[in-house]
């Protein structure tokens, strides 16, 4: 049974108070001045770490972990772990932090729910996706050591961190996956090796017996398809260049990133008639078809959905298969280039489309150029400006009136 609040020292009580008020600096000073073991709990059996997780405060959680707080310690009356509280807080970065410190994903609370299930229950889809896409670093260690008769590992060890990040990405939009590859040139340079490792991981996920994970197997398969596509693109580009008989090697190094950009444009290009990205759609459907485990539930479900009359876009089918169905997708905040959530930057000219950043805007410009002028005219014409002016005048007017009354 958890001890009552009375049994806590003043210092311990003080720590709880500072956490509940999110007083980062004050807590830092307090911890610097006192040597405290972080294993005490309040009257509900909640540890300081669990309180900080419930608050969703990454900074404080990091501080407590640095102090040696045990990420899996659990005396809570309803068996909620730190990860359960983080999942409830809605902070996906916090969930990631705990998992990279060894938080157990399968720990269940007193009603038999895991952290991911609790997050889904309260609609924190980012947390659900982050938890479900988490891969322990140990899974990759296997590939950075030579296995069996091989002289060298399948994956050069300096790629381990990049590769780990690459496979944990939650947004599986092919444009985002390609941009991420471009961000890690080392991965791009070793694309063939990366692809072989992904294939091997796909196989491992399907042969884990009771722990077989179809979803992760499909994810690895899908990422490998994107890498293959990049490789194909590079080869095509090189063949074209060989034909043209181009000279210097320096130029070809530069062209590698151009190749990736070419592929991104191909993914983004929409047909004139219905505005659908045809190439992307065809590529994604082909990726699904090529999944070698035809008996799996995930394969059957995706094929059935894609074959239905009036099917949803392949990108939404694949995202849903990997990350689960989203309850209420809020399309107003999605990057038109890469499908990233919470894209808050608007095209300054038309204000009709949103992007994550300048890079996404730049990549999309060749498609958006024409539409921008059109959209800009309809939203920025004289009328709307007048309304704004009128509103401002009214607001200022009423404020002035308020002042006058006083
Ligand atoms: Zn974007
Ligand atoms: Zn625009």
Domain ranges of the chain: 10-133, 137-243+257-305, 332-376
How wide is the angle at C-alpha 365 spanned by C-alphas 359 and 369, nearest 5°? 155
Contacts of 83 (CB under 8 A, 6+ apart): 53, 71, 95, 98, 99, 103, 104, 105, 107, 115, 131
Residue 251 has a pLDDT of 53
Instruction: Say which ligand is closest to the CA of 264.
Output: 1
Task: Dump pLDDT digits (tens) for 48-70.
Answer: 999 999 999 999 999 999 999 99
| CA 349 to ligand 2 centroid distance, Å | 5
- pLDDT-derived band of residue 127, with 50, 70 and 90 as boundaries? very high
Cα(67) to centroid(ligand 2), Å: 49
- The answer, yes or no, to whether residue 225 has pLDDT greater than 50, is yes
| CA of residue 362 to ligand 2 center, whole Å | 11
**From the CA of 345, which ligand is nearest?**
1
Of the two residues 192 and 209, the one the predictor is more confident about is 192
For residue 99, report the distance from its CA to the centre of ligand 1, in Å: 26
Residue 17 alpha carbon to ligand 2 centre in Å? 48
- The CA distance from 195 to 177, in Å, is 13
The pLDDT score that the predictor gives to residue 246 is: 57
Ligand number nearest to the C-alpha of 352: 2
Rounded distance from Cα 310 to ligand 1 centre (Å): 27
Ligand closest to the CA atom of residue 333: 1
The bound ligand whose nearest atom lies closest to the alpha carbon of 376 is: 2
Residue 244: pLDDT band by 50, 70, 90 thresholds? confident
Across all residues in the chain, what is the average pLDDT? 86
328 or 214, greater pLDDT: 214
Query: Which residues are registered as beta bridge partners of 354?
Result: 346
pTM of the model: 0.80
Lowest mean pLDDT among 11-20, 121-130, 291-300: 121-130
Distance from Cα 334 to the centre of ligand 2, integer Å: 15
Distance 367 CA to ligand 2 centre (A): 10
Residues β-bridged to residue 345: 355
Mean pLDDT of 24-36: 92
> Which ligand is nearest to the Cα of residue 347, counting in written order?
2
Ligand nearest to the CA of 362: 1
Ligand 1 centroid–CA 173 distance in Å is 10
Predicted local distance difference test score (pLDDT) of residue 238: 84
Over residues 141-162, mean pLDDT: 89
User: What distance in angstroms lies between residue 127's CA and the mean position of ligand 1's atoms?
Assistant: 20
Res. 118: pLDDT tops 50: yes
- Specify the pLDDT at position 65: 96
Q: How confident is the model at residue 126 (pLDDT cuts 50, 70, 90)?
A: confident
| N-term to C-term CA, the chain | 60
What fold, for 10-133? 1.25.40
Predicted confidence band of residue 237 (pLDDT cuts 50, 70, 90): confident
Does residue 390 register a pLDDT over 60? Answer: no
In the block, which residue shows the tokens 């990350």? 323
Residue 254 has pLDDT above 60, yes or no: no
Give mean pLDDT, residues 338-351. Answer: 91
CA dihedral over 184, 337, 352, 343, signed as positive or negative: negative
- As given in the structure block, the two tokens for residue 360 are 């996404």
Residue 179 Cα to ligand 2 middle (Å): 21
Paired tokens of 282: 């065809």
* Residues with C-beta atoms within 5 A of ion ligand 2: 347, 349-350, 372
Segment 113-125 shows an average pLDDT of 92
Provide, rounded to the nearest whole percent, the portion of the chain with pLDDT above 90. 66
> d(Cα 304, Cα 326) in Å, to the nearest integer?
19
Q: Which of 217-226, 269-278, 377-386 has the lowest mean pLDDT?
A: 377-386
H or E element at residue 205: helix 191-206
CA of 119 to the centre of ligand 1 (A): 25
Q: Which ligand is nearest to the CA of 177?
A: 1
- What angle, rounded to 10 degrees, do the helices at 214-244 and 297-307 form? 60
- Contact call for residues 84 and 115 (beta carbons, < 8 A): yes
pLDDT of residue 397: 45
What's the 175 CA to ligand 1 centre distance in angstroms?
Answer: 8
- 70-106, pLDDT tens digit by residue? 999 999 999 999 999 999 999 999 999 999 999 999 8
Ligand 2 centre from 170 Cα, in Å? 27
CA quadruple 296, 302, 307, 312: dihedral, nearest 10: 170
Tell me the DSSP string of 292-357. Answer: S-TTSHHHHHHHHHHHSSSPPPHHHHHHHHHH---SS--GGG--TTT--SS--EEPTTT---EESS
- What separation in Å is there between the alpha carbon of 341 and the centre of ligand 2? 19
Which residues, other chains included, contact 310 with Cβ-Cβ below 8 Å and sequence gap of 6+? none
Look at 183 and 406; give whichever has higher pLDDT.
Answer: 183
Q: Per-residue pLDDT averaged across 247-271, rounded?
A: 75
Instruction: Report whether pLDDT(324) > 80.
Output: no
Lowest mean pLDDT among 10-14, 144-148, 156-160, 194-198: 144-148
What is the pLDDT, as a whole number, of residue 45? 93
From ligand 1's centre to the CA of 101, what distance in Å?
29
What local confidence, expressed as pLDDT, does residue 271 receive? 81
Question: Tokens representing 361?
Answer: 């805007």
CA distances 225 to 168, 203, 219, Å, are: 16, 14, 10
């Amino acid at each position: 049974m958890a001890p009552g609040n009375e049994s806590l020292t003043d210092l311990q009580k003080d720590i709880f108070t500072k956490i509940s008020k999110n007083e980062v600096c004050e807590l830092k000073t307090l911890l610097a001045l006192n040597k405290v073991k972080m294993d005490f709990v309040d009257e509900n059996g909640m540890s300081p770490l669990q309180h900080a997780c419930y608050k969703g405060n990454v900074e404080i959680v990091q501080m407590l972990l640095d102090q040696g707080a045990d990420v899996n310690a659990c005396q809570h009356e309803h068996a909620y772990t730190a990860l359960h509280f983080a999942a409830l807080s809605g902070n996906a970065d916090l969930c990631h932090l705990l998992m990279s410190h060894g938080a157990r994903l399968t720990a269940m609370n007193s009603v038999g729910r895991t952290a991911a299930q609790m997050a889904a229950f309260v609609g924190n889809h980012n947390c659900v996706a982050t938890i479900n896409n988490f891969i322990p670093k140990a899974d990759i260690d296997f590939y950075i050591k030579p296995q069996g008769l091989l002289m060298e590992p399948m994956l050069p060890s300096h790629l381990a961190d990049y590769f780990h990040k690459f496979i944990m990405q939650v947004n599986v939009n092919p444009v985002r996956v390609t941009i991420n590859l471009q961000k890690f040139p080392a991965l791009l340079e070793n694309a063939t090796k990366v692809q072989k490792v992904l294939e091997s991981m796909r196989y491992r996920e399907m042969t884990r017996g009771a722990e077989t994970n179809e979803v992760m197997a499909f994810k690895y398969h899908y990422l490998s398809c994107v890498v293959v596509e990049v490789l194909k693109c590079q080869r095509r580009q090189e063949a074209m260049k060989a034909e043209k008989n181009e000279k210097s090697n320096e130029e070809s190094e530069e062209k590698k990133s151009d190749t990736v950009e070419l592929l991104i444009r191909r993914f983004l290009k929409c047909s004139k008639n219905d505005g659908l990205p045809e190439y992307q759609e065809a590529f994604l459907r082909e990726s699904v078809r090529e999944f070698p485990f035809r008996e799996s539930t995930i394969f059957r479900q995706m094929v059935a959905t894609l074959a239905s009359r009036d099917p949803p876009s392949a990108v939404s089918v694949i995202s849903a298969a990997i990350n689960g169905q989203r309850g209420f997708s809020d399309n107003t905040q999605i990057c038109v280039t890469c499908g990233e959530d919470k894209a808050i930057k608007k095209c300054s000219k038309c204000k009709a489309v949103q992007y994550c950043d300048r890079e996404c805007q730049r990549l999309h410009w060749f498609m958006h150029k024409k539409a921008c002028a059109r959209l800009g005219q309809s939203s920025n014409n004289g009328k709307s400006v007048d309304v704004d002016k009128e509103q401002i005048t009214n607001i200022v007017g009423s404020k002035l009136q308020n002042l006058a009354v006083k």
